[in-house]
Amino acid sequence: MKSALLHVLMPFCACLALASTGLFDRVLVDMNYDHYAEKTVDYLPCYLAMPFNSLINLGYIGIGIYWILQRTDSKRDPEAKYVKDVFALMAIAYGPVQWVRLATLRRVPAVLDQWFTLPMFAWVPVWCHFIEHGWRPRYAIAMEMCAIFSYGLALVHDQGFEVVLVIHIIFAAIKGVGVQRNHGDFRSLRYMVLALLSCSGFVVLKLLDHNLAQYRPFKHFTGHFWSKVCDILQFHYSFCFLTHLSSIAQKRTE
């Protein structure tokens, strides 16, 4: 657990330090409430100005804690626990970053909100690689470094982040399909489909946030809120998919 925590904290602190230097002052990020369809509540404190979009971030913390507490046979396969815990800690760290972004509307948390998304998607291929080939630290480090440095494209073009994010999503999906084909069963297939549907919901609902707000069901619980629900479900079903496949692959090698 300590090594997994260090694994997450080191790049977290490095990204925070870089974002605080002004290096990303030219990156296009939204820093006002007009970007969101949910109406602000003036009498609430800043950290609850948009109560539903703020409180949903507790879901990331909750899902991360839940999966950290899920036991694996660490004596038999400590690497499996390590890979799981890193992903869970990423989820725990991501929730507060989004919450601070909404509470402060400042550039640094807005940049970090975008930036941290990339290593999280990159960890899915790392886990898939672990299932098929065992733990390869060099591969994991290379994937994370590529994810972190790829955010530099946001400095080159206004839609640079969106382009990189789409690439990461597609690559994670391809790796997931590949490991399912080689090691999966019907149960893992169901988890994979649910994870992909949740990912689609995350993207589509976020893009349609303002368009959906004209309909009564999305007045308070807006598209952005439901996109975060889908994102949390995406985490959960990705955990279900990858932990189940890890168990299958491990039994085949015994």
Please report where in the chains the tokens 């970053």 appear, as a residue.
97
Q: What is the C-alpha to C-alpha distance for residues 152 and 15, in angstroms, rounded to an integer? A: 12
Question: How many C-beta atoms lie closer than 10 Å to residue 172's C-beta?
Answer: 23
Please report where in the chains the tokens 């975060």 appear, as a residue.
228
pLDDT value of residue 73: 58
172-187, pLDDT tens digit by residue?
Answer: 999 999 999 988 899 9
6-62, pLDDT tens digit by residue?
Answer: 899 998 999 999 999 988 988 888 888 888 999 988 888 988 989 999 999 999 999
Contact 79, 134 (CB under 8 A): yes
Q: What is the C-alpha to C-alpha distance for residues 199 and 202, in angstroms, rounded to an integer? A: 5
pLDDT value of residue 219: 83
Q: What are the structural domains, with CATH classification, of the chain?
A: 2-11+42-253 (1.20.1070)
Alpha helices in 151-222 (DSSP H): 153-156, 160-183, 186-207, 209-212
Q: What is the C-alpha to C-alpha distance for residues 12 and 168, in angstroms, rounded to an integer? A: 19
Question: How many C-beta atoms lie closer than 10 Å to residue 84's C-beta?
Answer: 21
- Smallest CA-to-CA distance from 49 within 100, 90, 103, 113 is with 103
Q: What is the C-alpha to C-alpha distance for residues 223 and 169, in angstroms, rounded to an integer? A: 20
The amino acid present at 157, given as its one-letter code, is H
Please report where in the chains the tokens 């694996």 appear, as a residue.
72
Contact 212, 223 (CB under 8 A): yes
pLDDT value of residue 80: 87
Q: Which parts of the chain register pLDDT below 70?
A: 72-76, 251-254
Structure tokens at 65: 């804690």
